Structure 1
Amino acid sequence: MFNMKNRNFETDLENPQTEVQLDEYYVVIGTETNLPELAYLPKKTFLLKTRNHHDLKTAFPENNDTGEWGHGFFYVIKNDEVFSFFSYGPAGDGSNITGNISTCDYPITEVTHLYRLRISEENAKKIAIDVNKIRKLSNSFIFDEERKEYVNNETIEKDKKKYRALTNSTCAKEAEKILRRHLGEKVPKGNGYVKYGFFSIPAVNPYSWWENLQKSPLKLEKYPEFPKTGKAEIMLGQVRKDGKDEFVHRLYGRNLSSFYEEDTIIWRTGDDATKEEYWILQIGDKDPLIEWGYLNDK
């Protein structure tokens, strides 16, 4: 007996045919981890064992003389469209290690490593429920049923859910916790070590998660990445280095000048030359990997 929900049936009187279309769900795990040679280095633990540590504090000239925190996030796809999006981070400026207002719409600012995994409808819905619980406790975009549009959730008590590095309530930890709660060992752990000044402690972090994801059987894409087809060529920043024009991992936008000398940046021309290109996804958006041809040509 067929359940009619989420299935399409077409019948021609002279040539009877039945087409059954089942919904497909995927989770796409993303990491911004583009400076491993600087931020993910072997360090000695207190047990004198050498482990890779994610350095959160050392200032790198290649990173605007700041630490390289990286980022971890995920989104769920139903067929070709976004079903849920979770990018946990501090909301606004002035984030610090003791805590800050959180958001589930922290913008993606660099090339991302994306790992795809097919999941069940039941798991997709359970993941979305967990994401929505945090959205209602953070400074995130939520869908207003009365207005039929997304609005910023500013009516809640801001101290209910904080981004706090001190307790590992961070991007990778919160994302990994939700996914592993429902998908178990299908999602690699993000456990590793983080170094903050003189301190070195075990914690889930973007670079350890990235390392384990790289070793996993999950399908890997990079987005956006030049010279692939799609939006990459117009999204990626371009700088002059050693007399050559080369693309860099950061996206175009006004903030590009915060990371590179102004006279080395090769700006796009036209009205969108300094437009912010940092991105988030909302329910109903098309999967960027499909929209920009990263999957269709395979």
Structure 2
Amino acid sequence: MHYTSVRNLCANGAAHLAKGPIALIFAEDDVELDSTLRHHIALNFAKVVALMPATFDLPGDIAAEVVRVDHDTAGVDGHISAVNALIAAVPAGSWMYYCFNAEYLFYPFCETRSIGELLHYHTEERRDAMLTYVVDVYAGDLDRHKDAVSLEDAWLDRSGYYALARPDPNNQHHPKERQLDFFGGLRWRYEEHIPAPRRNIDRIALFRSKPGLTLREGHTFSDEEYNTYACPWHNNLTAAIASFRTAKALKRNPGSTFDIPTFKWHNSAQFEWHSRQLLDLGLMEPGQWF
């Protein structure tokens, strides 16, 4: 199914938005768009919505599996208005997810459990959102892979991640409750090329719709409870998004590309494309889900 705009989807696509979880994939360019869509289709989302420029092509088998929406993702926050329009259009309580091309969602035991099983358990724990860590992955050989993207030669940082208390502008004496700013990966190692507001690696990428809810800049929501990493009484599930997005941007940016002959360092490890590696590195949390 093909819609000419997000507004057109919201007005005429009720059948495609009736049941979650719904994945929204924003195509900033066409790099690994096919593999991104295939990855999320394989996780068994009820619907995968591809928001992309009308000039982009999709293979026939993928086009038959996704809801295509013409959408210009240009600009730093070109996704926010679309996410908010779709939050208002889907039934209240629907689970939703968003990411960009060349990003791949992983969660504990995702090789054997569906996204629906994950979110059913999370709902039973009375959680309406899930923290995801955006884990930078990058090509090991930048001479062969000029845009820093390679599924076969993907690497990640195995250390260098940390968290700081998130300041509360309304309370200078106490940070926000159960909210942290997480850092690490390429945005930490090359922070001189990354604007300070965009150095975080945390994203509330999985969430339930409700009336009045809006996505804000910085990948957080208007409801502060959505931005927490856990409930007050125990740790909850978290997930990870393996993302080439930062590596791609650093190599495309004329101000940084010549400063980076390689992203690999002594703490690089080859990415295994498996949830166990991310769990072992502490880059996601199974909580009480075994």
TM-score by length of 1: 0.26
The higher radius of gyration belongs to 1
TM-score (norm 2): 0.26
Higher RCO (CA 8 Å, separation ≥ 6 residues): 2
Q: Which has the higher strand share?
A: 1
